Structure 1
Amino acid sequence: MRVLIIGGTGNISTAITEQLMEQAEMEIVHYNRGNRESPDGVQTIIGDRRDFISFEQQMKTAGYFDCVIDMIGFLPDEVESAIRAFKGKVGQYIFCSTVDVYTKQADYYPIDEKHSRKALPSFAYGYNKMLCEELLLAAHDPQTFAVTIFRPAQTYGGTGFAVASLGDGTYQMKRLRQGHRIIIHGDGTSIWAACHRSDVARAFIQAIGNPRVSGKAYNVTAEEWMTYDRYWRIVAEVLGAPEPHIVHIPTDLLGSLLPNRAEWCVENFQHPNIFDNTAARNDLGFSYTIPWSQGIQAVIRLLDENGAIDCQVEQPYYDSLLEAWEEANLTMKRQMQDMDSL
């Protein structure tokens, strides 16, 4: 079987490649810019998929693939190019989308694949993925372009990553080890879950050549639901850090003060991330096997081997925000005390 992964060296696609390499009679091809080295035994076609004319010609020259797994399709014009390149020339097309296509706030929980998809234009990532899905589902044809869509939530592994309410998660790990305060949005009770890339990759592997998945979309997400506070307390425990000093700041305020740094928090993290994986379990044998404490321990071990946590550059805005929040709280307390005494 001949499988092309568009991308191939990213977070999930690294695990997909590793698992494919364990199977006999599997020819694996990566298509990417060549910035990261692919494993021995994997052919790499170097190019830029956004150079549509060149990409489509390269795919024509590459010949027939039993399966194409598109891990880096983010914009509608990229998907339109893929449809031109592969329709009638591939056995199966698997697209990596995201749970961020679903309507926020959710209509119900857990969110299944039938839930409304109304990602807002204000959140470009989820909105563009939704548009990509629409194009692919319209182009789906079991004979000429059999499409399957996957919708992961937070997926981690290798050297990445724990998701912080604000800024970079690895920097927040450094703060925890130093005993410094960390910021968590809202009151810390929003529900979050993270799935190890090995579990998510197995679903992609099980989809290859599987007739049950034609024309369908699947959630492939974690099933260990934690409050955001608990999520980060587990990180602190694994780091061997002191009991974390968590400062809760309203999500809307974070978004107003630091719109670029807090975008994902406002659009995603504040909403309960509880998804129904029943379809993936039934059709793909999907299962959540690696608990957060175990998976993040492996991530932290690799980060420490590279000195990646200790070498994080300080982010002055972080402490400035904490100081401003503390001062605002003191000011409001004084004002309320004055009013109460009248």
Structure 2
Amino acid sequence: MKILIIGGTGLISTAITNQLHERGADLTLYNRGRTQVRIPPGVKILHGDRRNYAEFEKQMQEAGPFDCVIDMVGFVPEDAESVIRAFRGRIEQFIFCSTVCVYGGPATRYPIREDEPRRPVTGYGANKAKCEDILLEAGQRGDFAVTIMRPSQTYGEGGTIVHSLGWRTTYIDRMRKGKPIIVHGDGSCLWAACHISDVAKGFIGAIGNPLAYGRCYNVTGEEWMTWNRYHEGVAEALGVPLPRLVHIPADVMAQIAPKRFSISIEIFQYPSIFDNRAAQADLGFEYTIPWVEGVKRTVAWLDAHGKIENSDEDPFDDRVIEAWERHGKMLAEELAALDA
């Protein structure tokens, strides 16, 4: 089977590439060549910009045919329309990497199934939902079989550990130095993360699989954790005591620094737990790497590559914590005086 991955060197796609290479797949990657490559030698790579649609479609005409195309970097409707032009009637299956952000929040029921109404609250999720619609319609027309994959937080070697302020690795440095950690809300909202190795196996299980044609699948973590437990797991992986957790409501975060806290305001404040049973049944998807073990692997990679930033050089967290606690004390004193 000839497989093309559009992307192939990102976090999830590197894991897919490596696993397919180990299986001896006839594999080609298409990307701009700007990302540091963490794939084995011998994998064929075509360079180009898929956003230059005319040139991309010409390159695909010349490069094919392929049995299966996996699109890891499709983000806007124009990307979906372009791949239809490029591959209509020329491939058996098109696998699209979407996201659980298409569901938005809060959900109507938990755990979230694939038939959950899609009500994205971010531009990223809204565009992914539009891509899904365009591609599924192409599948219904018979242009090619379509499979939609919806990962959630995916982490591992080559990436980092996300937190209430995003992706900066100063979070890990703060943990190691015993500095307080900002947590959105009261820390009781549920979350789940999945290591890249497990997510990749889900994608591979969909390749050439008739059960997956015309279907959407959650491929997410199954170790449902409160955010407080999430941070406990990180501390355990680092071998340090859990620092003090400072809980700040998401609506306050939105007033303090909407850009810095955007991921908590838009996504993390909602429970994010998903039903993977369809992927388990059809694709052989399994959650095998526990959270603490996965964090150890990720941090080991970050340490080995000098990727952990010095938190002393970014005082933002400490300034927010100081202001939050100062005003909280003032509020308590004011209310106490009123009650006296």
Determine the structure 2 residue equivalent to 1:65: 66
Question: What is the CA-CA distance between 1:98 and the residue it aligns to?
Answer: 0.5
The equivalences for 1:1-342 within 5 A come to 1-24=1-24, 26-35=25-34, 36-37=36-37, 38-120=39-121, 123-141=122-140, 143-309=142-308, 311=310, 314-341=313-340
Letter of the aligned partner of 2:109 in structure 1? Y
Mapped to 2, the partners of 1:163 and 1:61 lie a distance apart of 40
Is 133-142 or 200-209 further displaced after alignment? 133-142
Mapped to 2, the partners of 1:155 and 1:243 lie a distance apart of 23
Question: What is the CA-CA distance between 1:191 and the residue it aligns to?
Answer: 0.5
Structure 1 vs Structure 2 CA RMSD: 1.4
Question: What is the CA-CA distance between 1:103 and the residue it aligns to?
Answer: 3.7
Mapped to 1, the partners of 2:23 and 2:331 lie a distance apart of 63
Contact 2:166 2:263 in 1 (8 A): no
Residues 4-61 of structure 1 show CA distances to partners (whole Å, capped at 9, x for unaligned) of 100000111011011101223x211111111133531111111111111111111111
Residues 198-228 of structure 1 show CA distances to partners (whole Å, capped at 9, x for unaligned) of 1111111111111111100000011100100
Contact 1:110 1:276 in 2 (8 A): yes
Distance 1:312 1:160, change over 3 A: farther
Is 70-79 or 306-315 further displaced after alignment? 306-315
**Identity in percent:** 52
Question: What is the CA-CA distance between 1:275 and the residue it aligns to?
Answer: 0.5
Mapped to 1, the partners of 2:173 and 2:185 lie a distance apart of 22
Could you tell me which runs of 5 or more consecutive residues in structure 1 were left unpaired when the two chains were aligned: none
Could you tell me which runs of 5 or more consecutive residues in structure 2 were left unpaired when the two chains were aligned: none
Residues 94-152 of structure 1 show CA distances to partners (whole Å, capped at 9, x for unaligned) of 000001101411000111011101113xx111111111111111111485311000000
**What TM-score do you get using the length of structure 1 for normalisation?**
0.95
Residues 200-258 of structure 1 show CA distances to partners (whole Å, capped at 9, x for unaligned) of 11111111111111100000011100100110111012112233111000011112221
Contact 1:99 1:152 in 2 (8 A): yes
- Size of the aligned set, in residue pairs, is 338
- SS of the residue aligned with 1:261? coil
**What TM-score do you get using the length of structure 2 for normalisation?**
0.96
Contact 1:142 1:215 in 2 (8 A): no
